[in-house]
Chain A
Amino acid sequence: MPDYTLTANTPLDGFSRDFVGVSICEVNERAIVSVAVPKDGEEKLANALASSYEIELPKAGILSAASLDNAVLFSMAQDQYFLVFDYAGNTATSVVRSHLNDAAYLTDQSDSFVMIRVSGTNSRSLLERICPLDIHPSVFPIGSVARTVMEHLGTTIIHEAEDSFLLLSARSSTYSFLDAIETSAVNIS
């Protein structure tokens, strides 16, 4: 065994900050695994999901939420889904594989993204400055998910709960992304 140990860090070291009517906080201890559907394997994957997570394959733009590991599944591209669930270890794909077996091609994406929650009564006002999508509840109700671009950065936005949105963006540009969100918070406050 080597004499050295490695220490993990999160993209924002657990950042959290409150503004008037809006809170911004990093979300950690959630894993992200890409679940890709093998050719002609949709039914097999659907069955595996139903029997393990007790959810269906969601349509584009809608979350499927499971009680197992507080998992949510949403479509990211043609034949590709992201499963986000409670897990802080290093082998997220092993966890998912234990449920889905070989029904999908799995890729760990837990370290690829920063997850930032924007919540509070002013959350939509904040996002209005950077999010080109219409996130009014009548158009983007709770449980909706969409991919978009915010301040030149690819972003996935999830309407988690009333006045609460989860944003996923690339880890390497975390600080630019956070700066965009914080600037918006300052500008609207």
Chain B
Amino acid sequence: MSQINRIDSGLIDCAQKLNFTFNGQTLEGFAGDTLASALLANGYKMVGRSFKYHRPRGIFSAGSEEPNALIQLRSGAYQEPNTRATVTELFQGLEATSQNHRGSLKYDFMAVNDLFSSFLSAGFYYKTFMWPKAFWEKIYEPVIRAAAGLGRLSGEDDPDVYDKGFLHCDVLVVGAGPSGLSAALSAGRAGARVILMDEDFRMGGRLNAETLSVNDQSGHEWATQATVELSAMDNVRLMTRTTAYGAYDHGVIGALERVTDHLVSSHNKPRQILWRVYTKRTILCAGSTERPIAFGNNDRPGIMLAGAVRAYVNRWGALPGKRVAVFTNNDDGWRTAIDLAEKGVEISAVIDSRDGQPPVDVPSGATVIMGGRIVDTHGRHGIRSITLSNGQNIPTDCLAVSGGWSPNVQLTCHQRGRPTWREDIAAFVPGGELPQGMMVAGAAAGNFSLSSVLQDGHDLGNMAVSDLGFKLTKENAAISEEETIGISAFWHVKESKARAWLDLQNDVTVKDVKLSHQEGFRSVEHLKRYTTLGMATDQGKTANIPALAVMAECTGKSIPETGTTIFRPPYTPVAIGALAGRARGKDFRPSRLTPSHAWAEEQGAVFVETGMWYRAQWFPKSGETHWRQSVDREVTQTRASVGICDVTTLGKIDIQGKDAAAFLNKIYANAFAKLPVGKVRYGIMLREDGIMMDDGTSARFSDNHFVMTTTTANAVGVFRHMEFCRQCLWPEMDVHLISSTEQYAQFAVAGPNARKLLQKVVDNDHDISNEAFPFMACGEITVCGDIPARLFRISFSGELAYEIAVPTRYGDSLVRTLMAAGEEFDVTSYGTEALGVMRIEKGHAAGNELNGQTTAQDLGMGRMVSKKKDCIGNTLSERESLNKNDGLSLVGFRPVNPSDELKAGTHFLAKGKTANMANDEGWMSSVAYSPNLGHSIGLGFIKQGSERMGEVVRAADPLRGGEIEVEIVSAHFIDPEGERLRA
């Protein structure tokens, strides 16, 4: 078979042959073809099977509204199901296969469904498969799922690359048909920044498919000329293969550009780009979509929309049939007959549902039947003949149907705008409040004649730029011949006995809509859900209005009274990959690396994600086969000598100003106003509701200068909270905040030899002895020869410890230096696991304890909430419910049987009590294995815990199973008197 139905070149490039395959057969087309036009040119009528009944289906339309010709493209991991052949640009090497059949396309085993169609009407699955109940999950659902669906995913990761981006313009013109080109010309000539986008790969829209003239030249020539003029303007951006799929808040338009879908390979460049378009004005020139008429067996291959039939002939030189009949309720359908006749195609009949005289001259040889009806069609894999209501049978191999045109109002509805009905064109037009900045021109606004479309686009282009302050040019709109556009609404042939399809994609028939009405699903939203009408890839572009009309007939109401559906984005399908863009795998979110990251990698550290930070979790040594061995070693070595941990991730906030101390006094629950210079204080921060928000330290470097540390997790939240307080609550204060988290690399140096180690790097003129630099001291020092640093004598581990900070540029060098200097002390690096073990051993609260539910009192820090001053959260922390005597308190736990392992999340129950919420006494918040104690230890909250030392309770784990007995003990497992950290 070789392009047996190619009649002329149309607008394609016959000099550029393209080979492609369909179901494994090699075929030939030309540059400028779509897959659909190439298949038609090669004589293919049947290209797929229907969703439910597996009926043979052919190409129905010539655009994105296509319900039938859904094709699987490419192969392997690149396989993409449900692509529309009508908008798939042909390329050399294209691989396409039909879908939704078992066996060959021609002999589909699942076509047996059609024989049982009377049992498979809308909603059948709501009423069947009710018993036996056990069959549903094991048999019915798997079988239905296997039978349903259209194409198949490859099951492999999508190897394609996607991108996204941001565009800005004064005027966005959506659609490059006659109105869009006119609008873009007006706006572009005035000097506005214009973006003109069209989903087609060729600008011109319907002008490419029609034979009407513009400015005394063919429509497509005018379109080409306009495109050339626009492309020469620096202020105009032309985007073909780009669909505006959604209108969002503030006039933002979402658009999908198919960058390489027309190429055999993307070569690792983005296949598609998702654009966010910020525009001051949007002129929607999306055109209109032809709709069918429902009659018996109107779904056979070869039955097509009339506008599509002449588009294939005029634009692509591809003949859908050699003996074509037309069935129409409007003048436009006649143009198909005329255009085809002029190309020498035999017109077997023109059946017009309207009475009276033909609106135009009848093509020679054609039988004209005014007031006619088609009641049935015949032909198994393609239409062979039609039967009229008078019994007349007319042979035909292509039936062009036109039920009128529906403006493409979809984007006007994306902000809840409801279209309004226009009786004269029997269609909905944009109505209600349009998305911000949007105007609608041309056929999308219900103006169907070419001359009005050109004028409309021109005027709205001028209006848009005039609104924006641009000076208009004196150019006039292009002019065109007037054509007749009369229509008389006619939705379905009532005389038809056979099934008449409304929604070809979802196999919804007139009978289904009537059933929906009969069963009480009468609103359009219910109709959609009951029948699946308007779902899937085409979103009912050709089906919604005829179905609504049938429902209106059933209810005895008018179409506008019956309602219309509100369209939601996307206008046409958008691949999930395009929505994800680059945000896949490691690029799902950014990573933050600590200053010692490279060094830690060299040590073979195992990293953990804490927020966006990657922190070393532990540092395995040779011979260690389990993480616990590494962590136990790090803890033991630190407590025995000295360990180093990167704590850069803790939030650091630089606070300056005459009121800095007073500001902190309000932010923290405990007092800070009188903190001496050179000292650090632990502070707790409450939310307005009195619940613990965060804890940390603040160091005072001068009267007006503090540096606060926060937890890693709350660094941003605390800063934001403080800025809110500064700017909104106390704007009269002289205080300034700036994050210095990134500015300093900070390391904890902990253990009995911490001071000795630091003394090797701290410059000699800084005395860091216990006397000169005691526990909770801070100071600005220099290290390694005048490198500025900050030193804090604070301890999270409970050991003699410091935190030393240097400008981040020296962070990598400092950790290497400390490790080298510490060799004589057998220094170890330690990660977050050892950090956690040591803080639990010491009884320090952390994120698990500050979980947004606990109070200072729960944490045993109730007395820190100063009653002598005002601070955030002070008042509400006094609520009775937060100050009950039987409230929770943070205590330690150890297993009664030392070999038992404690688990975080277990709940405490008294002995003999049933494990239920009524008997719940609290929960275990943090656990660790203590290498120093040789058993598992935990911190947790239990009612009146501080008064129950020594009591044994059960730690139950209903979720994971099991429970053990635990003893309530002090939270301070190590050095309860704090002698080590003051050493």
Contact = CB atoms under 8 A, between A and B. Distances in A.
A173 B591 contact: yes
Interface in A160-183: 170-177, 179-180, 183
Contact of A111 (B161, B594, B808): B808
Contact of B813 (A8, A78, A128, A131): A8
Most chain-B Cβ atoms within 10 A of its Cβ — which of A1, A90, A110, A136?
Answer: A90
Interface in A98-154: 105, 107-113, 128-134, 136, 138-139, 151-153
Given A39-B734, A111-B808, A6 B817 contact: yes
Interface in B493-529: none
Contacts, number: 148
B921 to A, nearest CB: 42
Nearest to A36: B736
Contact of A36 (B591, B659, B738, B808): B738
Given A80-B736, A134-B168, A173 B657 contact: no
A187 interface: yes
A80 B738 contact: yes
Interface stretch (B2-10, B293-301, B436-444, B783-791): B783-791
Contacts of A108: 743, 807
A151 to B, nearest CB: 7
B45 interface: no
B269 A2 contact: no
Interface in B659-708: 659, 704
A173 B161 contact: no
Interface residues on B, range: 35 or more
Nearest to B592: A172
A170 B612 CA distance: 12
Interface in B159-187: 161, 163-168
B323 interface: no
Contacts of B591: 173, 175-176
Contact of A78 (B269, B582, B656, B727): B727
Interface of B: 161, 163-168, 193, 268-270, 276, 278, 582, 587, 589-594, 612-613, 648, 654, 656-659, 704, 727, 732-734, 736, 738-744, 760-764, 783-788, 806-810, 812-814, 817, 820-821
Contacts of B733: 39
A67 interface: no
A132 B166 contact: yes
A173 B649 CA distance: 12
Given A9-B813, A108-B743, A153-B590, A1 B738 contact: no
Nearest to A39: B734
Nearest to B259: A187
Given A111-B742, A111-B808, A151-B590, A91 B658 contact: no
A134 B278 contact: yes
Contacts of A175: 591, 593
A94 B955 CA distance: 58
Contacts of B278: 134
Contact of A107 (B270, B740, B741): B740
Interface residues of A, number: 54
Nearest to A179: B587
Contacts of B807: 8, 90, 108, 110-111
A34 interface: yes
Contacts of A186: 268-269
A16 B165 CA distance: 24
A39 B663 CA distance: 14
15 contacts: A1-B785, A4-B784, A39-B659, A80-B738, A105-B736, A107-B654, A107-B740, A129-B164, A139-B168, A152-B590, A172-B648, A172-B742, A174-B593, A187-B269, A187-B270
Contacts of B820: 4
Contacts of B276: 132
B594 A172 contact: yes
Contacts of B784: 2, 4-6
Contacts of A177: 590
Chain A to chain B: the 6 pairs with minimum beta-carbon distance, closest first: A39-B734, A176-B590, A134-B168, A36-B736, A112-B742, A111-B808
Contact of A10 (B654, B787, B809): B809
Contacts of B193: 136, 138
